[in-house]
A and B are shown apart, each in its own frame.
Chain A
Amino acid sequence: MSLAWTARNVRRQVEAHPRIVLGTSAAFCLLALVAGGATLGARTVNRWGAFVGQNVHVIAYLADDVDQERALGLAEILGRAPTVARVTVVEPAQALARLGAMALSLASDARPLEGLEPAYFPRSLEISLAPAGDLTRHANDLAKRLRAVPGVAEVDAMTGGLARLAVWVKLGRVIGLAILVALGLVALLALVTVFLRTRGTVAERAAVLAQLGETPAAIRLPSSLWTAMAAFAGGGTGALVLSLAWRPVLAHLEDNLGIVSAHPSPLLASAEIVAGLAFMIAAGLAMGYFATPLPPTSDHA
């Protein structure tokens, strides 16, 4: 079978079954979206984890007799702990300023705070924990140890907020995983459907070509080629959609959730896209190959 004849067969099959070709492309597009979305989703969760890590998890209010120098010393010692990411000393004047800013943002009125002196506010240490799976437990452990440190008057582990955050993160992960699994199943179902439809359409042609003396490889080649091309087109479309739409969608979502991250939004790397498309082409070739049923080469009927 010549190259021209193979190309003609490919064109004829594509023209005869445009829906199946489109369905194949759509299935591979969905597969690319699921695989790419899972990769980007995992990176986004890490990014949000970094954002959560920037927040303050434990506040240690210091006793009145602890001066700034000792507070800085304590902050340095605490900063060496492996579970601690950052320690900031908050001076009484800073605390008052923050309270005033919050009153303005919440009530647009800071007059109730008039007359307050910075001396009313204790010096404090704001401690951010390193990202971990169980921040609540880490915060409680740290608070317990801090309460035993001389000069620490009170410790707020903020475990209530952390627990709520942990629940939301867990729920978000479960929902995200469920959506991914559902989309993956839909993609798999779509692939199986187009596989069976392809098998139905090429069976007659394969039987005729086998009877005419075509080799199995040449019988399978045209359907393998068009499924590979459909897979490439679908996978390419999926990669393009992710490249163009992921950042705007993520930015919109983060705006709504109030997440501000210093890290840039994740995107698929060129090498990842090329590897993904190569996989799609290989999967398309395999699909066309196995979707072409071959009659027995010769037997005793």
Chain B
Amino acid sequence: MTIHCNTPSFCSFELCGQKVSATPCLAYDRGVLWLEGIGCLRHGCDVLEGVTLGVSGGELVVVEGSQASGKSTLLEVAAAARLPERGAVWFAGRNTATLQRASLPFVRRNIGYYTADATLVGEDSALANVMSALAVRGEPLGAAEAGARDALALLRAQELADRQVASLSSGQRRLVALARALAGPPPLVVADEPAALLGDEARALVISALATARDAGAAVLAATADCAWANALVAAGGRRIHLAEGHIVGAPAVGLVPALTVTDGREEQPPRSLSLETDAGEPAVRTEGAKGPR
């Protein structure tokens, strides 16, 4: 089965050799993040092509894919760390691709972005590093410190608060960087391989922390090449998206679609999961996961 979802207003699905076209209803909500027909090049080669993906507030989406499938590039685009060559990035209802460059910082400050090689200020304490994300958003010092301590506690890294980042191990630094991305939490959390190179206990903590951010209303987009960890995220209520060779495959990338108008005239309104039926009345496509464990 292949699914092409190129625009928010038109989707075509090929189900069991039968082509089904669907049009979302007019009340479609683009949510916190809406990536539309994203295409990206790296060294002249396509790494993403026609990717459309939406993440709403209070939703956890896990992008699973093998190495070089385009996950990191997709997350860079989602985090406004790079602009796509093609397509539009809607963040909180605004197309960031049309914003002036001077406006991009105001988008970025509302996105908690974590990568495995996230840069921290080595001469500052872990607490100051986490606080900086909140301070940039305009939080007063006291609130920023409290929020930073909460974020560190979420990952059980509160004992690192007063330690200089330069003295931390690489694993501890990753926890601090993740705490910085989750502090607040911001409207959108984008985490690229947040559990990589962490122990089992820390991986479980990361899942818990991402779910907590989701429960606090943040839109959470995480990427991993680890199938088992992706399963654990799905078990925690995440929606799984498969990415292969720069395309989304296997499931529609649109999660919280309140209504779909199928070309044959029938409508369905699934509450949290999307379910389409073939002409034979069999369920054909189901997005995995909804809020909370299934």
Pick the contact of B109 from A205, A207, A213 — CB < 8 Å?
A213
* Residues of chain B with a CB closer than 8 A to A214's CB: 105, 109, 136
A-B contact pairs, 24 of them (CB 8 A): A1-B135, A2-B140, A4-B140, A4-B141, A5-B141, A12-B123, A12-B124, A204-B122, A207-B119, A208-B132, A209-B136, A211-B119, A212-B108, A212-B132, A213-B104, A213-B107, A213-B136, A215-B106, A297-B101, A297-B104, A298-B80, A299-B82, A300-B83, A300-B85
* Interface of chain B, main secondary structure: mixed
Contact A5 B81 (CB under 8 A): no
What is the CB-to-nearest-CB distance from A203 to chain B, in angstroms, rounded to a whole number? 10
Please tell me the number of chain B residues within 8 Å of chain A, measured between CB atoms.
Answer: 41
Pick the contact of B144 from A5, A204, A213, A215 — CB < 8 Å?
A5
Pick the contact of B121 from A2, A208, A301 — CB < 8 Å?
A208
Contact A210 B105 (CB under 8 A): yes
Q: Is B42 an interface residue (CB 8 A)?
A: yes
What is the CB-to-nearest-CB distance from B239 to chain A, in angstroms, rounded to a whole number? 26
Nearest-neighbor residue (CB-CB) of A7 within chain B: B141
Residues in A244-275 with C-beta less than 8 Å from chain B: none
What is the CB-to-nearest-CB distance from A261 to chain B, in angstroms, rounded to a whole number? 55
Q: Is A16 an interface residue (CB 8 A)?
A: yes
Q: Is B13 an interface residue (CB 8 A)?
A: no
With the chains together, A215 CA to B76 CA distance in Å?
19
Interface size class of A (residues with CB under 8 A): 20 to 34
Q: Is B284 an interface residue (CB 8 A)?
A: no
Nearest-neighbor residue (CB-CB) of A214 within chain B: B136
Contact B138 A2 (CB under 8 A): yes
Contact B105 A297 (CB under 8 A): yes
With the chains together, A212 CA to B139 CA distance in Å?
14
* Residues of chain A with a CB closer than 8 A to B85's CB: 300
Contact B82 A298 (CB under 8 A): yes
Contact A208 B119 (CB under 8 A): yes
Q: Is A8 an interface residue (CB 8 A)?
A: yes
Q: Is B113 an interface residue (CB 8 A)?
A: yes
**Contact code string A261-301 (vs B, CB < 8 Å = 1, else 0):** 00000000000000000000000000000000000011111
